[in-house]
Structure 1
Amino acid sequence: MDARSTFQAILTHLPLLAGVGRCASGPDEHLVLLNRMALTRALLAIRQSEVLMRYFDDISLGEVVTLSPRQLTEEDSLRFCNEFDRLPVHLDPAQAEKSIYGQLIASGLHTLSLTASMVVDGFLVHTSMTGASGMEGVRWHRPVTLPNCLSVRVSVLEKKPPKPGKNYGVLKCMLETSDQTGELVMSATVDYLLGVRA
């Protein structure tokens, strides 16, 4: 898909981005404020219009996708851990300093959640993915120090064609998350369900 077609698709679905907030600088001028939810709705609408859709049939065995990195701040980590993973090593600097890590570290659950979010935003949103049937072999290889910048690589390990009567195949992918030094911090395999071309 070329840049012109992409731009036209975004313009077509631009009304979905409005309504979040606006400020007028003139009678006919408005600045549309975007947030993550509105942008996701627009991307999903574009996907559903099949402008960017990739089906099970379009993805090759052995394909590797490297996703854009995402920042992880200490504030982000504390916010997540206060709600979902209240271990002292994630929340209490004094306790963390006495631990085997010597400092605050991010929750492995937070790393997994960020990985899933990055895979959706950078890969799955452009496919016919309808769900997932399982995750296996989740490993945390080393602690994620704070602040950090995580990147994810998705590798297609296996393609299982649709079973009789089904309109989707199974895409087994390896997810590998690395920190800002390039060290592997987490890995897992996921079975994604992708629709096939009609």
Structure 2
Amino acid sequence: MDSDTVYLEDISAGATIHCGEVTVSADEIVEFAQQFDPLPIHTDPEAASESRYEGLIASGYHTLSLSVRLLVEEVRSDRAVIAGIGIDNVRWHAPVRPGDTLAVETTIVETRPSESDPTTGIVHEEISVLNQSGTEVLSLENRELVERRE
């Protein structure tokens, strides 16, 4: 790893990191859903307009995938991440619609050395995704295994 690598010891509990924004288009919503979540509310604008949502909405898994992309680009690409070890408490709070701009932030809840491997540690973070109106559309907790400084 190079000198810009972020190890467990460099990550502070309580820190909040803003991970950027992404705007979601109708075409992206349909394309993702056709491959991974082909419900009419995600793939068929006409059928979606007759649903309780009164229009096309993104799959929750699409929203989750978009948030992971922003997290990787802003945070994880510099971290000495070994592997994700779990996500918990995934909640979709509000629908994501075409044209919505999503902002992702992560707050470090805790860091600790691994009990089984002294060369690694665990980062526990809370991730929140908000739309352009400030409405939380997704929240989750993530834990990942990270290298420790030698």
| TM-score when normalising by structure 1 | 0.73
Distance 1:186 1:151 in 2: 10
Q: Which residues of 2 match residues 101-120 of structure 1 at below 5 A? A: 101-120=53-72
How far does the alpha carbon of each residue in 1:33-69 deviate from its partner, in whole angstroms, 9 at most, with x for none?
xxxxxxxxxxxxxxx3x23211100111101001111
Deviation at 1:75, TM superposition (A): 1.0
Q: Percent identity?
A: 30
Larger relative contact order (Cα-Cα within 8 Å, sequence gap ≥ 6): 2
Partner of 1:80: 32
Count matched residues.
Answer: 150
Q: Does 1:70 align with 2:22?
A: yes
Partner SS state of residue 102, structure 1:
coil
Deviation at 1:183, TM superposition (A): 1.0
Partner of 1:189: 141
1:171 counterpart letter in structure 2: V
Partner of 1:125: 77
Moved over 6 A (4+): none
Flag the structure with higher helix content.
1
How far does the alpha carbon of each residue in 1:138-183 deviate from its partner, in whole angstroms, 9 at most, with x for none?
0000000112211101000111212254311000010101112121
Distance 1:165 1:96 in 2: 50
Partner of 1:90: 42
Distance 2:116 2:129 in 1: 35
Gaps of 5+ in 2: none
Q: Does 1:145 align with 2:104?
A: no
Distance 1:165 1:78, change over 3 A: closer
| TM-score when normalising by structure 2 | 0.95
2:98 counterpart letter in structure 1: L
Partner SS state of residue 53, structure 1:
coil
Instruction: Find the structure with the greater CA-based Rg.
Output: 1
Flag the structure with higher strand content.
2
Distance 1:80 1:53 in 2: 32
Gaps of 5+ in 1: 1-47
